[in-house]
Amino acid sequence: MEGWKGVVDHGLVAFATISDEDEAKRVFEAMDDNQGGIVLLDEWCNYIKDKEVEAGTVAGNLLAADEATPPPPPAGKEGAKPGAKAKIPAEELEPAEAGDLYDFTAPFEPMAERSELGKALRKRGFKLADPNGNGLCSLAELETFVLQTLMQAYPKDPKKKDHRGDPLERGRDLFDAYRPSYIRAFNDAKDYKADSGKVLAGTKKCTADDFVSKGEFRLFCAYLGIYARMVRSVLRVICS
């Protein structure tokens, strides 16, 4: 209740209608499924996802791509195709926060583009994410990919110091701050393609649905940006 004003202008449909404490309380109770007085990150993200999907936003259509039967766009709206690009308007965030969010999403956003350049970047990115070349990426492999990509984009700068006096590692700091984003992105992206149910060789019970395939990698990169924004919104409330 103390932090709801920090997310009403964050550009997320779920919070756009909050104008007073009564509405803030209603939204919180809707998130809090078991009425335990505590909202977990999963509950927070699922609520935002559902609202974006219902509204037929660009992000909502992307997030619905992994569902068996994506909902139709709202009446009177054509809605964006699942392949559309989800942009995060900078003017909707405070400058410092926009920079923090954009710094995280900038290395991955081009890989989500439906263009020849995007295709080439995805090919190079997936090769990095799939070191054994089996065409499937585990959660651990994508964790390494996200970290390496951020570290390459923002290498350690010995001339700049963090609050501890150590050399500034912008890439690792961004990875730590937005770590939940890649986990959520992985879980959504791996469900996009239909699962044959066939157990993969060398595993006891894993199927292709337990990994992100090459065909799902573009969505993974797109989801990183969407879930990073959700993580940023919850941090604004917690730190208010």
Question: How many other CB atoms are found less than 10 A from the CB of residue 163?
Answer: 6
Of the candidates 238, 231, 230, the residue with the CA atom closest to the CA atom of residue 2: 238
Average per-residue pLDDT for the chain: 82
Measured CA to CA, the distance from residue 185 to residue 188 in angstroms comes to 5
**106 near 153, Cβ under 8 Å?**
yes
Query: Considering Cα of 225, then 231, then 235, then 237, what sign does the dihedral take?
Result: positive
Q: Per-residue pLDDT averaged across 158-177, rounded?
A: 81
Q: Say if residue 95's pLDDT is above 50.
A: no
CB atoms within 10 A of CB 64: 21
Burial of 200 (0-12, 13-18, 19+ CB in 10 A): middle
Residue 82 has a pLDDT of: 42
10 Cα distance to chain centroid: 15
Reduce the DSSP state of residue 160 to 3 states and report it. Answer: strand
- Asked whether the predicted pLDDT for residue 125 surpasses 60, the reply is yes
The rounded distance, in Å, linking the Cα atoms of 95 and 97 is 5
Q: What is the pLDDT of residues 194-218, one digit of tens each?
A: 777 777 676 766 777 789 999 999 9
- Give mean pLDDT, residues 25-52: 92
pLDDT of residue 117: 94
Domain ranges of the chain: 4-238
pLDDT at 89 over 50: no
Neighbour count for residue 212 (Cβ, 10 Å):
30
User: CA-CA distances (angstroms) from residue 26 to 23, 44, 45, 51, 135?
Assistant: 5, 14, 16, 14, 45
Residue 66 — very low, low, confident or very high, per pLDDT cuts 50/70/90? Answer: low
For the chain, what is the largest distance between any 2 Cα atoms, rounded to a whole number of angstroms? 56
Q: Are 186 and 227 in contact (CB under 8 A)?
A: no
- Of 118-122, 142-146, 168-172, the poorest mean pLDDT is in 168-172
